[in-house]
Amino acid sequence: MTSDWRTNRIESALRGENPTVLRRLRAGFAVIGDVQFLPGYSVLLVDDPRVQRLSELPKAKRRDFLADMDVLGEAVEQACRLLDPALRRVNLEILGNADGFLHAHVWPRFAWEPAELVRVPVWLYPRENWRDERHALAPRHDVLRQRISDELGRLTGRDASRECVPSVQGRPGGPGIAFRLSSVPGPHYRAGVDLFTRSWAALLAVVAGLPERDFGRPSGCAGWLVRDLVCHLVIDAQDVLITLVTPADAEPTVDAVTYWKAGNQPPDGDDPLDALTVRLAAAYEDPELLKFHLEDVGSAAGRAARLADPGTRVRTQDQVLTTGDYLAAYVLEWTLHHLDLSDRLPGVAGPPAEGAAASRALLEAIAGAAFPPSFSDTDVLLIGTGRRVPTPARLDELGALATRLPLVLG
């Protein structure tokens, strides 16, 4: 790949050398933006570098370009909404005042933007936002760009699983992917905190509504009954409370993705903490006592998360990470354990859709690869972590990814 693709973005796209290309559309190329201070920013490039104005295109291709802009706008909207519930809207613009070639900007806009900027054109943001390396397109955006590409494939009727979206380095996303949509700590992480509290509240509500007979049934956690899983949630809630009041001054050593250690050996019951959990759960005897304890400590953990500053750093398990990343990691924990109940017990509602979507994105980042678009978020989470055995047809769809499953998280 040549290093000067930025000097002529369209010609490099035509040569297959522009690493920001998401998909070829009818009248141009959908590309992800060089800067991502508003995560998901994308651009539609006309496929003829000589064209400077929309009016220079023949009528039919003019309509195609506008239709492509509409498709890219919808793809960005759908992908960003899945990964960040704070999405407000998408802005579409055709300008051309600086770069003469015909192109259209697609800007996602979020509720976490600064109050003085959230309702004004994006061009009123400080100019350093376009120059700050913290906002530059990087491998941490690979999951987001794959989501946009998948949506483009869905909207245009093309098979998203057959196209590879390269990273800036020209490779599919790998271990360097970061889950969070932006690498800059700040108030916009509130959306992640809200997702944590919604996912946790939904799980607490499910446990509170379980009849006594369900506590003796198997859960989706290998070797654990429902009562063992609920006892584990009590311990999880205690861990959240302890971590949120354990500040750290050091630089982060992990993020929401690398916080998780992924193996491929399911638990065998020999882990001392797992065995202790089973004994503790049995000691409760009355499921109502266990439910009461979870409600007590679980509500406190939820309140602590709502009060936390997502940009601060905390220490847990000899690692340092931002509070925002820590809470984002736990959305996956809550969602998987919610599925451990809803997938095994009759009449139990599943986890919130936005939590499942965010958890899928995080699991794909951990795997360093996207699951087939035909898989629902629940399919990805259950099959990806070994909670559900894939059918032969599903194995064929997974392809080489199947050899790396299950991802046993710890």
Per-residue pLDDT of the chain (410 residues; tens, 9 = 90+): 445 788 889 999 998 889 999 999 999 999 999 999 999 999 999 999 999 999 999 999 999 999 999 999 999 998 888 777 788 999 999 998 888 899 999 999 998 889 899 899 999 999 999 988 888 988 778 878 888 988 898 888 754 433 444 444 433 333 333 333 333 333 334 556 778 998 999 999 999 999 999 999 999 998 899 999 999 999 999 999 999 999 999 999 998 899 999 887 776 656 777 788 999 999 999 999 999 999 999 999 999 998 888 888 999 999 999 898 899 999 999 999 999 999 999 999 999 988 999 899 899 989 988 899 899 999 999 999 999 999 999 999 999 999 999 999 98
Confidence at residue 268, expressed as pLDDT on a 0 to 100 scale: 61
Given a contact cutoff of 8 angstroms between Cβ atoms, the answer to whether 138 and 168 are in contact is yes
Q: How many CB atoms lie within 10 A of CB 261?
A: 11
Confidence at residue 295, expressed as pLDDT on a 0 to 100 scale: 95
Residue ranges, comma separated, of all CATH 1.20.120.450 domains in the chain are: 187-409
- 187-409 topology per CATH: Four Helix Bundle (Hemerythrin (Met), subunit A) (1.20.120)
183 sits in which H/E element: none
- 5-162 topology per CATH: HIT family, subunit A (3.30.428)
Confidence at residue 109, expressed as pLDDT on a 0 to 100 scale: 95
Please say whether the dihedral angle defined by the alpha carbons of residues 111, 117, 123 and 125, taken in this order, is positive or negative.
negative
Cα dist. 102→10, 24, 27, 93, 122 in Å? 10, 15, 11, 11, 19
Confidence at residue 158, expressed as pLDDT on a 0 to 100 scale: 54
Look at residues 364, 403, 383, 406 and name the one whose alpha carbon lies nearest to residue 165.
Answer: 364
Residue type, 263: G
Look at residues 51, 72, 73 and name the one whose alpha carbon lies nearest to residue 62.
Answer: 51
Q: How many CB atoms lie within 10 A of CB 294?
A: 22
Confidence at residue 310, expressed as pLDDT on a 0 to 100 scale: 82
Q: State how far the Cα of 219 lies from the Cα of 217, in Å rounded to an integer.
A: 6
Q: State how far the Cα of 51 lies from the Cα of 340, in Å rounded to an integer.
A: 55
Question: How much is the pTM?
Answer: 0.60
Q: State how far the Cα of 401 lies from the Cα of 108, in Å rounded to an integer.
A: 31
Residue ranges, comma separated, of all CATH 3.30.428.10 domains in the chain are: 5-162
